[in-house]
């Protein structure tokens, strides 16, 4: 057999398993595409508003009814349900109700907790709960508007008086976790049902087994007050009970600091201690709030300073300026209250975070002369 002929035969032999693999993959893709989904035609990019709701506990409802002097069933809907409403805001989302209204919610947070589930829930016969789905079953497993967690996705509103067309409403019930992971027949998922098809209960096993839909706004919002890179910083300034100091990057350098004499309380000092200044700036590059105080919106800087003890500023090459004003240490917690240009509310930072700015003596940032 000639060498050329041997090569042809070998190529054909290798092509057979490759062709079989491709056919198998093609069949898998086709079969997946043919599995019915709970919300046909749903795509995340069509969603403009997400609503998350859950009815308050019996005790909470009874307390609200007593306070209002009416029976529970006469309470307005907004007093019967805990609710969070999110709207698209550019690339991310924004919380539009509760005391934290206006704070950013990361796109990935809404995608992972809501949108991918609306897209991915399958309703093939293997997932459906057929027999025994009655009012008692739904009540015991949190599959009614009164007992479950409700999610609604809406399209872009057509006008100011329009809430947006509903793209789907899902009721998430109780956990169905049974057996140990890896065992035959083990289940780790949730009962779910469309709000308009209460008899079509589905056993849904999400890829993320920690799927959670909290009703606390603080568990959704982005706690980042500001975040930038060292290479973006042009100038740095701080002041505290020991004095103040300001520095700028040396022209043409991204790493060397030069003191700004008029911004520095230490006089007759030597060279800038580059490492110490860099450490301080590094500590300020990313600031994340521990929690927010929605009852205290940001006020004017001079008013804040009158009540504060520390000020820290970073000016970026873009012209942006990020500032925080730190108030006195909280006596009962391990943090301090802070105002910042990157947050509309007063917020708390750990004393670990603000400590270096509170305790750093500006004189220690310079060599002796």
Residue 246 lies in a domain: yes
Residue 54 lies in a domain: yes
Residues ≥6 apart with Cβ < 8 Å to 30 = none
> How many domains are there within the chain?
2
Residues ≥6 apart with Cβ < 8 Å to 199 = 133
Do residues 202 and 192 touch, judged by C-beta distance below 8 A?
yes
Q: Which helix (H) or strand (E) holds 84?
A: strand 81-89
- Same-domain status, 134 and 280: no
Q: At 231, phi and psi to the nearest 5?
A: -65, -20
- Same-domain status, 48 and 161: yes
Residue 18 lies in a domain: no
* CB neighbours of residue 186 within 10 Å: 12
- Same-domain status, 182 and 231: no
- Same-domain status, 240 and 214: no
Residue 183 lies in a domain: yes
- Same-domain status, 207 and 229: no
Residue 137 lies in a domain: yes
pLDDT of amino acid 15: 45
Of 170, 193, 219, the position where a domain reaches its end is: 219
174: nearest Cα among 58, 54, 40: 54
Question: Using CA atoms, how far apart are residues 185 and 178, in angstroms rounded to an integer?
Answer: 8
In the DSSP assignment, the letter for residue 271 is S
- Same-domain status, 321 and 228: yes
pLDDT of amino acid 25: 44
Tokens of 96: 């539009």
- Same-domain status, 180 and 247: no
pLDDT of amino acid 11: 43
Residue 308 lies in a domain: yes
- Same-domain status, 251 and 334: yes
- Same-domain status, 209 and 255: no
- Same-domain status, 361 and 255: yes
- Same-domain status, 211 and 243: no
pLDDT one digit per residue (tens) for the chain, 369 residues = 444 533 433 344 444 444 334 444 444 444 445 788 999 999 999 999 999 999 998 898 989 889 888 888 888 888 888 999 999 999 999 999 999 999 999 999 999 999 999 999 998 887 888 666 888 888 888 899 888 999 999 998 877 767 789 999 999 998 876 544 444 455 678 899 999 998 889 989 898 878 889 999 999 999 999 999 999 999 999 999 999 999 999 998 888 999 999 999 999 999 999 999 999 999 999 999 999 987 766 555 455 545 568 999 999 999 999 999 998 766 666 788 888 888 888 899 998 899 999 999 999 999 998
Residue 305 lies in a domain: yes
Of 186, 219, 252, the position where a domain reaches its end is: 219
pLDDT of amino acid 21: 45
Question: Using CA atoms, how far apart are residues 324 and 314, in angstroms rounded to an integer?
Answer: 9
Question: Using CA atoms, how far apart are residues 111 and 221, in angstroms rounded to an integer?
Answer: 14
Owner of token pair 């568990």: 219
Q: Helix, strand, coil proportions of the chain in percent (round to 5)?
A: 30, 30, 40
Tokens of 157: 């509103």
Residue 267 lies in a domain: yes
pLDDT of amino acid 298: 57
Question: Using CA atoms, how far apart are residues 226 and 228, in angstroms rounded to an integer?
Answer: 7
Domain enclosing residue 63, as ranges:
44-219
Of 196, 219, 242, the position where a domain reaches its end is: 219
- Same-domain status, 287 and 234: yes
Beta-bridge partner residues of 92: 89
Do residues 36 and 122 touch, judged by C-beta distance below 8 A?
yes
Tokens of 206: 């999400």
pLDDT of amino acid 280: 97
């Amino acid at each position: 057999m000639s060498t050329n002929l041997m090569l042809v035969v070998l190529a054909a032999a290798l092509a057979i398993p490759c062709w079989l693999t491709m056919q198998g993959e093609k069949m898998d893709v086709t079969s997946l595409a043919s599995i019915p989904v709970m919300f046909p035609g749903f795509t995340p990019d069509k969603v403009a508003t997400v609503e998350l709701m859950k009815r308050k506990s019996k005790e909470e409802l009874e307390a609200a009814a007593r306070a209002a002097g009416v029976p529970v069933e006469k309470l307005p809907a907004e007093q019967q349900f805990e609710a969070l409403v999110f709207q698209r805001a550019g690339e991310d989302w924004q919380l539009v109700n509760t005391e934290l209204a206006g704070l950013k919610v990361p796109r990935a947070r809404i995608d992972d907790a809501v949108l991918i589930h609306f897209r991915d829930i399958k309703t093939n016969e293997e997932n459906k709960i057929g027999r025994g789905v009655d009012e008692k079953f739904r009540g015991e497993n949190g599959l009614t508007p009164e007992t479950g967690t409700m999610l609604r996705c809406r399209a872009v509103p057509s006008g100011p008086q329009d809430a947006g067309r509903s793209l789907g409403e899902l009721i998430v019930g109780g956990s169905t976790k049974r057996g140990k992971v890896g065992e035959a027949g083990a289940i780790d998922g949730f009962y779910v049902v469309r709000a308009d098809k209460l008899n079509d209960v589905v056993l849904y096993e999400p890829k993320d087994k920690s799927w959670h839909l909290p009703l606390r706004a603080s568990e959704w919002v982005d706690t980042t007050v500001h975040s930038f890179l060292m290479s973006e910083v042009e100038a740095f300034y701080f002041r505290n009970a020991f004095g103040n100091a300001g520095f700028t990057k040396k022209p043409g350098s991204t790493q060397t600091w030069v003191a700004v004499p008029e911004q520095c309380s230490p006089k007759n000092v030597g060279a800038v201690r580059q490492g110490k200044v860099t450490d301080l700036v590094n500590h300020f590059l990313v600031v994340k709030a521990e929690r927010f105080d929605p009852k205290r919106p940001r006020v004017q800087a001079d008013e804040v300073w009158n009540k504060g003890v520390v000020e820290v500023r970073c000016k970026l090459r873009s012209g942006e300026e990020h500032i925080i004003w730190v108030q006195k240490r909280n006596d009962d917690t391990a943090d301090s209250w802070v105002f910042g240009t990157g947050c509309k509310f007063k917020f708390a930072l750990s004393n670990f975070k603000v400590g270096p700015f509170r305790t750093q003596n500006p004189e220690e940032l310079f060599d002796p002369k």
